[in-house]
């Protein structure tokens, strides 16, 4: 079997931002999950947990929209994290169709502990980038995010 360095990428992939972002996302999460243990499913969903932490009681539908998931895709994730003790759902007092999502007290403490692992991973993947480079990369990715959100909003 040839090494990855010997695999020829066609020009259409070499110049595709979407392809490169997807590859980096897969590689980043695999590297992170291989180094982190004892947190159940949470490392994969750290970003979502931090959104819940910042927005306690966020409706499930709004959470799904924020992370580009269909509500039906979010439900099993929330179910798993609820079973693992990270999250709890509560019915909205005014509209019983709405389920609001909160971190449990134990979940909040575990998110804080997991943050240290995330910080180490971020340092590893940004090694060699200056603070200016990192800021510029984040700005460019925010522009891509804005384009994707605008496109999603315009879709029927």
Measured CA to CA, the distance from residue 58 to residue 34 in angstroms comes to 30
Q: How confident is the model at residue 2 (pLDDT cuts 50, 70, 90)?
A: very low
- Amino acid 139: pLDDT: 96
The pLDDT value recorded for residue 59 is 94
Compute the mean pLDDT over every residue in the chain, rounded to the nearest whole number: 92
**Predicted confidence band of residue 5 (pLDDT cuts 50, 70, 90):** confident
Which residue, 19, 18, 80, is CA-closest to 48?
A: 80
Residue 144 φ then ψ, to 5°? -65, -45
Mean pLDDT of 130-144: 96
Q: What is the pLDDT of residue 3?
A: 64
Query: What's the pLDDT at 55?
Result: 97
- When pLDDT is cut at 50, 70 and 90, the band that residue 96 belongs to is confident
Domains of the chain: 16-149 (1.10.10.10)
Span 75-83, mean pLDDT? Answer: 96
Q: Is 85 left (phi over 0), alpha (psi -120 to 50) or beta?
A: left
3-state class (DSSP) for residue 103: strand
């Amino acid at each position: 079997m040839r090494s990855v360095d010997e695999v020829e990428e066609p020009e259409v992939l070499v110049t595709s931002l979407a392809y490169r972002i997807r590859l980096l996302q897969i590689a980043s999460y695999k590297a992170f999950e291989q180094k982190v243990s004892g947190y159940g499913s949470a490392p994969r969903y750290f970003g979502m947990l931090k959104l819940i932490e910042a927005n306690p009681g966020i409706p499930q539908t709004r959470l799904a929209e924020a992370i580009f998931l269909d509500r039906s895709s979010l439900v099993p994730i929330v179910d798993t994290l609820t079973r693992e003790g990270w999250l709890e759902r509560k019915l909205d007092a005014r509209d019983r169709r709405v389920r609001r999502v909160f971190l449990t007290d134990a979940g909040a403490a575990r998110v804080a502990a997991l943050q240290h692992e995330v910080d180490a991973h971020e340092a590893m993947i940004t090694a060699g980038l200056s603070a200016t480079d990192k800021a510029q990369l984040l700005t460019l990715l925010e522009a891509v995010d804005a384009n994707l959100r605008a496109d999603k909003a315009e879709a029927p």
